[in-house]
Chain A
């Protein structure tokens, strides 16, 4: 085939490219170029002259009827592993060609670097089209994202093209999670008089409903409102549930079978059905539940053990907070070492609660003096917290702060002037997505590919 010594000559849209089988092997068997080289296909070269007057000297070449400029970029990608798009070449054109060759995953992998909270650059700002405030934004494992707006979830692929939105027939979406890049788990509010709401799995690609989870109390299926969601490494899905007849608690479903596996009824003194945040702690084998102000007057954070069906650790500020000016916990996240939970209040203070001791209150850090830039008149959003790769992220007003190291030292701040306050953000697929409140726009932050040297 082709030239001797593993060399291959392509004529792409009239332009001749010489390359080697080794370079093409980087495309993988699961691509057009990989299949082309497979021995089952008798690589039938078009002899020069027959394929449109390409290379001379009667050298065998293989004709491909595609855009040569894009092929050059993709061939370079196979050669060097890095992507360089000439300024005049539209990205969408390149993506289309990459899809033709089956190289889209290669392009995506080379498009941006591994996530580092301190090296993030603003890559794109995507204007939203839905009316009203966004509820939540979630990053997909492959770099796409989805935005919950009222009764619909808008889904974007990693190229930031919008796909068909998931419509829930106008039920209010409470929480969204990506089970994988093609599967969305959506929790919705139940409306009076209709058997809707609850929890369901949708295709992130087509927007179709795949499965709806049921809750059974006393051997009777009941309608319910699903709140915060999470899932563990095995196949359990957790959601907080509110039934009409005080059936409050945490439901557990098996992902593979789609059936209800368990239900943790709310014990007295622990608000579970209304929780703002669920987080599965793998090493501890427990579920963290946080129910926070302003949903309830008293904040409650607890760790649930499903095997023993008991609350193994809990904290509540009941009886401590008196006036509105007092420090109130507005969001919580378990740190990655699963030893403590980080909380944030309305003054942007970070605080920590130790999982290993049951006594003691929040250990507030003294950052408020430094960072206290409260703008009283402006409508602001409640702060959010997230962790990723040993770094802690917190959103406050229109910026996101990045804290690093065991001491949680502030190392970076991400801010963009327009769009207003950040109401939610999410990290995944090596990207950070921040949803702004006023302009209904979301920003995409990426780490650039590593430098050449």
Chain B
């Protein structure tokens, strides 16, 4: 063909063209008419007469012969025409039939679209991707969106109808949920953007204003509990609605609208609501309401924080009243019991209503820690509470009950900042219990010690444990003493000695009083026995701590057994030889310290029913000019009479000062030790860091005062453990 001239070449080319494409444009037009007819028939539900193979082949031929664009364009315009007709038939549908009609037509369109796509499958596979067109199915959806959903006559009507139906349902009417579901599904099928823009956004706006109005109405007329009930119901309704006929993605959005309008916007008003707010719920233990509040508020930002803050301030306020009310400080046991009850009550609320939320537990703990330490007598009172329980309160209680009570006490103990003060008092109270033999259960005592040990470490309890050991050794020693020396002792009074290790016990050096000669003999025998078996020890009599049982015969011959303290015994024994003695005489004979003597005489002469002595002149108080006589006329129904010492269970004011001073004194070496430990490892440190570190190290036992720390540092500098840096005065250097 290279040799052919121009006319022949053209001729040849035309022939080839004819051979390859036997379809001329007329044929293409004819083929398209067939397909167009078929599309109409499909929309007319009249497809039974159509031959799929023929239509498929026709579409194939059009694409094959480069009429793809004509085919695609024809499809688009035919479908558009049909959809415009459909849109008119939907527009004329009346009232409630509107949605029905829309849904029916949508179903029809889907079905038709599937069949059209079947016919045009070849175009969909070849022409569409290579010319970057929209696939047939998607095209059908887009056209439906543009000509039906976005048609001006349908668009707003559809939205209004949907929103109206939802409003009706909110007001309690029953609506056709199946139809709603089909319509929202249609919007989703048209693409998430259609669903969101044409339905979801306005739906959320309308819902917001609905709930904003409703919440205003509710909050005017409901108390907090009822309001929350209604909110909860609304929330559940909305979730139910989503699950029934909205897209799952709407759930988070609509719930957040309800949460915002019903909860977040009224949060503060709700919790502070008079007579029904959070505080009232807490007071009245309204577990259901509290749980509802917790579950609703947790859904919104800062919701739980609001509850927690109010609860904390309420707890602190009531707690503060509790610990500072002087009326309530009169009975320490009652005081601690109140604290425990308060704790139990709120523990239960947090457990039952707040799902054991850790942050609430922390808030409760920090509140307790705050107000317990507002009263510096709390450590003493807690120790007294334990004392009371271990003396008598636990009689008949099972081991488990004891454990429960002790655990609760430990919980309060944990809140204490001044744990060393507690230790001081606990030691005193334990000593009294042990020496007077008043402790009910040895197991309970030991259990408490173990708890303190696990909480604060070995050091904290080593002295307390030493006290138990002393008690045990004393018992053994006394047995041995009587076994070895019984014949030597004869019929004299029985002696029971508690040998206390110095340092382990809260004893103060106290000059011994003059014991009656009978007692003195046996005491000396014991002393020689004890020092004979243990060399290198020193015994000092703590006459201020002992007790004695003495038999006395009164005027009419009636005999009583008197249970008295060692001091009281010394005083009473004086009356064996004489009937009347002045205060001065007694003081001189016995050498009992004045304050103790006064108390001792008071209990012997001024207590009704136990007045074995008679005082002249009669008065409540002891003065140094008083004279005392043996009270012949003493009577009592009891054979055994216990004469207690007049001593407040609580400490008197000077004693309190003294204990406090001792505590402060004991803290000094601890603070110094901490400073030295820290400086030894750090070598050089500035003042503020030392204070911070020391506080950190010691806070398990007490909260050291920065001023005290500063004094200790100065003292250490004086003793050349530390020195100030020469250039920077804020820096300290450790001197090895």
B residues within 8 A CB of A41? 47, 50, 52, 115, 118
Q: How far is the CB of B273 from chain A (nearest CB, A)?
A: 47
Asked if B111 is an interface residue, CB under 8 A from chain A, the answer is: yes
The answer to whether B52 touches A36 (Cβ under 8 A) is yes
| Contact in complex: B132, A208 (CB < 8 Å) | yes
Give the CA-CA distance A44 to B53 in the complex, in Å.
9
> When the two chains form the complex, which single residue of A44, A99, A100, A206 contacts B132, counting CB atoms closer than 8 Å?
A206
A206 to B126, CA, bound (A): 11
- Given A40-B47, A40-B115, A208-B132, verify A99-B53 contact (CB < 8 Å): no
Establish whether residues B60 and A100, one from each chain, have CB atoms under 8 Å apart when the complex forms. Answer: yes
Distance in Å from the Cβ of B301 to the closest Cβ of chain A? 26
Assess whether B167 is interfacial by the CB under 8 Å rule. Answer: no
Residue of B nearest to A210 (CB): B132
Residues of chain B contacted by A205 (CB below 8 angstroms): 129-130
The answer to whether A99 and B57 touch (CB under 8 A), given A40-B115, A41-B52, A41-B115, is no
Q: Are B130 and A206 in contact (CB under 8 A)?
A: yes
Which one, A61-69, A358-366, A419-427, is touching chain B? A61-69
Chain B residue numbers with a CB within 8 Å of A182 are 129
Mask: chain A, 30-51; 1 = CB below 8 Å from B; 0 = not = 1110011010111110000000
**Chain B contacts with A in 131-150, Cβ cutoff 8 A:** 131-132
State whether the Cβ of B203 lies closer than 8 Å to any Cβ in chain A: no
State whether the Cβ of B619 lies closer than 8 Å to any Cβ in chain A: no
Instruction: Return the CB mask of A1-40 against B: 1 if under 8 Å, else 0.
Output: 0000000000000000000000000000011100110101
Minimum Cβ distance to chain B for residue A95 (Å): 12
Q: Which residues of B contact A99 (CB under 8 A)?
A: 122, 125-126
Is the C-beta of B48 less than 8 angstroms from some C-beta in chain A?
yes
The reply to whether B132 and A32 contact each other, CB–CB distance below 8 Å, is: no
Across the interface, do B132 and A102 meet the contact criterion of CB distance under 8 Å? no
Task: Identify the closest chain A residue to B55 (Cβ).
Answer: A41
Tell yes or no: A203 within 8 A of B by CB.
yes
Q: How far is the CA of A41 from the CA of B111 in the complex (A)?
A: 11
- Provide the residues of chain B in CB contact with A63, threshold 8 Å: 53
A63 to B122, CA, bound (A): 18
**Is B56 among interface residues, defined by CB-CB distance under 8 A?**
yes
Q: Report the minimal beta-carbon distance from B151 to chain A, rounded to whole angstroms.
A: 27
Query: In whole Å, how far is A215's beta carbon from the nearest beta carbon of chain B?
Result: 26
B121 at the interface (CB under 8 A from A): yes
Chain A residues whose C-beta falls within 8 Å of the C-beta of B126 in the assembled complex? 99
Shortest CB-to-CB span from B477 to chain A, Å, is: 70
Are the C-beta atoms of A64 and B60 separated by less than 8 Å? no
A40 touches B51 (CB 8 A): no
- Tell me which residues from 48 to 80 in chain B have a Cβ below 8 Å from any Cβ of chain A: 48-53, 56-57, 60
- Bound Cα distance from A43 to B52, whole angstroms: 8
Enumerate chain A residues within 8 angstroms of B130, measured Cβ to Cβ. Answer: 205-206
Complex Cα–Cα for A102 and B53 (A):
13
Query: What's the nearest-Cβ distance from chain B to residue A54, in Å?
Result: 14
Q: Is B114 an interface residue (CB 8 A)?
A: yes
In the bound complex, CA of A376 to CA of B130 (Å)? 48
In the complex, A318→B600 CA distance in Å?
97
Interface pair B121/A102, CB less than 8 Å apart: yes
Decide if the interface of chain B is mainly helix, strand, loop or mixed: helix
| Interchain CB contact under 8 A, A203 and B53 | no
- How far is the CB of B117 from the nearest CB of chain A, in Å? 8
Who on chain A is nearest to B48 by CB? A42
- In Å, the complex CA distance between A41 and B47 comes to 7
Contacts of A65 in B (CB 8 A): 53, 57
Q: Which residues of B contact A203 (CB under 8 A)?
A: 132
Contacts of A100 in B (CB 8 A): 60, 122
> Complex Cα distance A236/B166, Å?
42
| Alpha-carbon gap, A62 to B51, bound state (A) | 10
Q: When the two chains form their complex, are residues A40 and B111 in contact, meaning their CB atoms are under 8 A apart?
A: yes
A46 and chain B: residue at smallest CB distance: B51
Docked Cα-Cα span, A31 to B122, in Å, equals: 9
Interchain nearest-CB distance for A34 vs B (Å) = 9
Mask: chain A, 54-81; 1 = CB below 8 Å from B; 0 = not: 0000000011110000000000000000
Chain A hits for B115, CB < 8 A: 40-41
Q: Find out whether the CB atom of A40 lies under 8 angstroms from the CB atom of B114.
A: yes
Which residues of A sit under 8 angstroms from B47, Cβ to Cβ?
40-42
Taking the nearest CB of chain B, how far is it from the CB of A178, in angstroms?
15
The answer to whether B125 touches A64, judged by C-beta atoms less than 8 angstroms apart, is no
The B19-54 residues at the A interface (CB cut-off 8 A) are: 47-53
Report how far A30 CA is from B135 CA in the complex, Å.
13
Residue of B nearest to A65 (CB): B57
Q: In the assembled complex, which residues on chain B have CB atoms less than 8 Å from the CB atom of A30?
A: 121
Answer whether A38 and B118 are a contact pair too, CB < 8 Å, given A44-B51, A65-B57: yes
Distance in Å from the Cβ of A71 to the closest Cβ of chain B? 13
The CA of A62 and the CA of B57, in the complex, are separated in Å by 14
Q: Are B118 and A35 in contact (CB under 8 A)?
A: yes
- Beta-carbon contact of A32 and B129 below 8 Å: no
What are the residues of chain A within 8 A of B125 when measuring CB–CB?
99, 102, 104
* B122 touching A102, Cβ below 8 Å: yes
In whole angstroms, what is the CA distance A121 to B118 when docked? 39
For B60, what are the chain A residues with a Cβ–Cβ distance below 8 Å?
100
Complex-state Cα separation, A185 to B121, whole angstroms: 29
Closest residue to A41 on the B side, CB-wise?
Answer: B52
CA distance A183 to B114 in the complex (A): 27
CA distance A99 to B63 in the complex (A): 12
Within B106-124, the residues touching A (CB, 8 Å) are 111, 114-115, 118, 121-122
How far does the alpha carbon of A36 sit from the alpha carbon of B54 in the complex, in Å? 11
**Are A32 and B56 neighbours in the complex by a CB distance under 8 Å?**
yes
Chain A residues with Cβ below 8 Å from B132 are 203, 206, 208
Contact with A along B386-419 (1 / 0, CB 8 A): 0000000000000000000000000000000000
Taking a contact as CB atoms under 8 Å apart, the answer to whether B53 and A62 are in contact is: yes
- Which B residues lie within 8 Å of A62 (CB)? 53
Digit string of A96-135 for contact with B (CB within 8 Å is 1, else 0)?
A: 0001101010000000000000000000000000000000
User: Which 7 residue pairs of A and B lie closest in terms of their CB atoms, listed nearest first?
Assistant: A35-B118, A42-B48, A41-B52, A205-B129, A205-B130, A206-B130, A40-B115
Spell out A's residues near B (CB within 8 Å). Answer: 30-32, 35-36, 38, 40-44, 62-65, 99-100, 102, 104, 182, 203, 205-206, 208
A-B contact pairs, 27 of them (CB 8 A): A30-B121, A32-B121, A35-B56, A35-B118, A36-B53, A40-B114, A41-B47, A41-B115, A41-B118, A42-B47, A44-B48, A44-B49, A44-B50, A44-B51, A44-B52, A62-B53, A63-B53, A64-B53, A65-B53, A65-B57, A99-B126, A100-B60, A100-B122, A102-B121, A102-B122, A205-B129, A205-B130
Interface of B with A (CB < 8 Å)?
47-53, 56-57, 60, 111, 114-115, 118, 121-122, 125-126, 129-132
Known: A32-B56, A44-B50, A44-B52. 4 other contacts (CB 8 A): A32-B121, A41-B47, A65-B57, A205-B130
